[in-house]
Structure 1
Amino acid sequence: MRLRNLLATVTAGLAAATCLSAAGPADAAESHACSPSVSIDRFSDALDKTTYDGTFVGNLSALAVDRDGSLAALSDRSALFDLDAGTLAPESVVPLADDDGTALDSEGLVVDRDGTRLVTSETEPSVRRYSRAGRLLDSLPVPDALRVSPAGRAQPNGTFEGLTLLPGGRTLLASTEYALSGDSIGIVRFPTWRRTPDGHFRPAAQYAYPVDSGLGVPEVQATPDGRLLVLERGFTPGVGNTVRLYLADLRHATDTSGIDTLTGQPGVRLIRKTLLADLATCPSLGATARQPQPNPLLDNIEGMTITGRAKDRLKVLLVSDDNHNPVQTTRFYSLRVRI
């Protein structure tokens, strides 16, 4: 979701030579622990309030690892960046648009096995396929109930925030941020699409995920074993952000695609989740915040991707959406997560 505050962009070339940098000794693993399951290696503000090729580098809502190892970064202002995975320096940017040439409220991102980009927009909502150059190739069908009211039961700015491809590449899963009208508050839907023999995706099962009170789901990522890393996030004026990382398991969850409203029906099994870390408990590593935060490291964290493994842990990269707001920060976070 976006605040519509505008900020005059500041052109800077700092990012071109800036790596994710740790604020503290690299061998002090104990001081970097957020929980027994999660530690933070470093953070970077290198891209904050910068521009590239005339485009503001901010409003980042999703990350994905490209086939060549670079990073794809999606702005919710309808721009898709390629970033160097080591320095985070932008290397290219392409605009995205719908069938009519209208800019998207782009939120979720997957790089498919052929290199094309699957991108969600929460305006309708939609899932569209684009070439690497930003050309619109295809649109996926969306179940009617998941469309924004009055066409469906979704609330504006509360639909497809996250997108991930499950292991094997046959199932695409989206996370809705907030509950549909008629569903119990705190129960959000995770719809899936199944890849057909001709390479298209068709709607398949839906699952119900229990989100913490007052929070929404801005991002979801499949782990190599088929479980999910789920970000839950909220904001309280004068207090700041709440950001929690959960491990979720679809196994044994009920397919709710045929259930009109989710209101505590007996026999409906929700997705099971386990808290990995509340990121407010992470060490701040010297970070500063321009607005009140329970931990100055925190901001409006919205994007997440798994970049690799480090021994028994996954390497996970997060990014915050600065909403083009002078008191918010575009910040990258490098985590190690044991699942």
Structure 2
Amino acid sequence: MRLRTVLATTTAALAAATCLSAAGPAAATPQASHACSPTVSLDRFSDALDKTTYDGTFVGNFSALAVDRDGSIAALEDRSSLFDLDARTLAPKRVVALADENGAALDSEGLVIDRDGTRLITSETEPSIRRYSADGRILDRLPVPPSLLVAPAGRATANQTFEGLTLLPGGRTLLASMENAISGDSATLVRFQTWTRTKGGHFRPAAQYAYPVDAGLGVPEVQATPDGRLLVLERGFTSGVGNTVRLYLADPRRATDTSAVENLTGQPGVRPIGKTLLADIAACPSLGATAKQPQPNPLLDNIEGMAVTGYSKGRLKVLLVSDDNQNAVQTTRFYYLRVRI
């Protein structure tokens, strides 16, 4: 999502993750002092791709990450390009242009790489979820509940729709997170929509849940954990102050299905997704990072993409990336976290 002021895939094992190098002001050895909270630590960060180009395409505007079947990192940018990055160096290896059925650009935000290698990609424009081949051909388009469409077709606000996308363990349930509330709902209740895989390999709409977002923040990304819970990023920006980015562990398994609930306003009988704060990224050590505009911590930027790159004994390796909006005062930055769940 392009920067605006706000007040206030299936988990893959990636053996190369621990040796990812950082060509730039990144590179630090993991230590206890790298703790962001009791459950989250920051190994290092990398600005290696900031303000670079590849094959004539600007490298940046990143909105989502995923681990591909070959272990490389797929990085989606919100201006209709999907990059393939080397898992060790982050160097781009390929870029694929994306478009809708009429050849128009997408506001591409969420990414899942399915078990057959196809790409499920959201666009905030309608919103939509399309399935693409690895070379960028449209193969399918998922149905979207009418209320989640952008007004006047539905109740959503433009540029505040499907930001996050993840496939739950087992590969049968797809989940998309709205960035902000739809009209008629409480401003602090965001809808998470799911789809169930059919016998023909397509997806049909299924349960929907209410997620309680912190006041003034939105949801730019969501990723499933191996036990069916969710990592949820919440983010906001205040001019002259900087970004707020928080990482939560959320559990939708006992939440109420709200697909038939017209207005989410905290009414009795609706149990939202439970969540627990894992870390406020502003509390992470800066590790020598610099910021091009005011920030509570110079490490911070417009963090928007997230992928789980490894898992062992309740500990996750998590990769984050910021969306620089192709803006001189923002940075494309990758963050390497260890998260205990």
TM-score using structure 1 length? 0.94
User: Greater shift after overlay, 301-310 or 75-84?
Assistant: 301-310
Cα pair 2:186 2:265 within 8 Å, conserved: yes
> Structure 1, unaligned stretches of length 5 or more?
5-17
* Alignment correspondent of 1:26: 29
1:56 to 55, 58, 79: 58
Matched position secondary structure for 2:147: helix
Give the counterpart letter for 2:191 in structure 1: R
Give the counterpart letter for 1:26 in structure 2: T
Cα pair 1:172 1:192 within 8 Å, conserved: yes
Distance in 2, matches of 1:162 and 1:25, equals 29
Distance in 2, matches of 1:321 and 1:154, equals 23
By relative contact order (CA 8 Å, sep 6+), the higher-ranking structure is: 2
RMSD (Å), alpha carbons: 1.3
Count of residues in correspondence between the two structures = 325
> Offset of 1:24 from its aligned partner?
6.8
Give the counterpart letter for 1:298 in structure 2: L
Matched position secondary structure for 2:32: helix
* Alignment correspondent of 1:177: 179
Give the counterpart letter for 2:85 in structure 1: L
Distance in 2, matches of 1:310 and 1:247, equals 17
Indicate whether 1:71 and 2:48 are aligned.
no
User: Greater shift after overlay, 121-130 or 258-267?
Assistant: 258-267
Distance in 1, matches of 2:118 and 2:315, equals 28
1:286 to 285, 288, 294: 288
Cα pair 1:173 1:191 within 8 Å, conserved: yes
* Alignment correspondent of 1:2: 2
* Alignment correspondent of 2:200: 198
* Alignment correspondent of 1:142: 144
> Offset of 1:262 from its aligned partner?
0.8
1:80 to 66, 79, 82: 82
Q: Deviations over 1:239-259 (max 9, x none)?
A: 000000000001210000011
Q: Deviations over 1:271-323 (max 9, x none)?
A: 00000000000000000000000000000000000000355420000000000
* Alignment correspondent of 2:156: 154
Q: Percent identity?
A: 79
> Structure 2, unaligned stretches of length 5 or more?
5-19
* Alignment correspondent of 2:235: 233
Structure 1 stretches of 4+ moved >3 Å: 21-25
* Alignment correspondent of 1:11: none
Distance in 2, matches of 1:115 and 1:239, equals 41
Give the counterpart letter for 2:44 in structure 1: R
Q: Deviations over 1:34-53 (max 9, x none)?
A: 00000000000000000000
Cα pair 2:27 2:46 within 8 Å, conserved: no
1:44 to 36, 46, 67: 46
Q: Deviations over 1:19-45 (max 9, x none)?
A: 237857525x22100000000000000
Cα pair 1:3 1:325 within 8 Å, conserved: no
Matched position secondary structure for 1:280: helix
Matched position secondary structure for 2:112: strand
TM-score using structure 2 length? 0.93
Cα pair 1:310 1:336 within 8 Å, conserved: no
Indicate whether 1:296 and 2:278 are aligned.
no
Q: Deviations over 1:255-274 (max 9, x none)?
A: 00011111122110000000
Distance in 1, matches of 2:313 and 2:110, equals 28
Cα pair 2:110 2:162 within 8 Å, conserved: yes
Distance in 2, matches of 1:183 and 1:110, equals 28
**Structure 1 residues 34 and 99 mapped into 2: Cα distance closer, same or farther (>3 Å)?**
same
* Alignment correspondent of 1:10: none
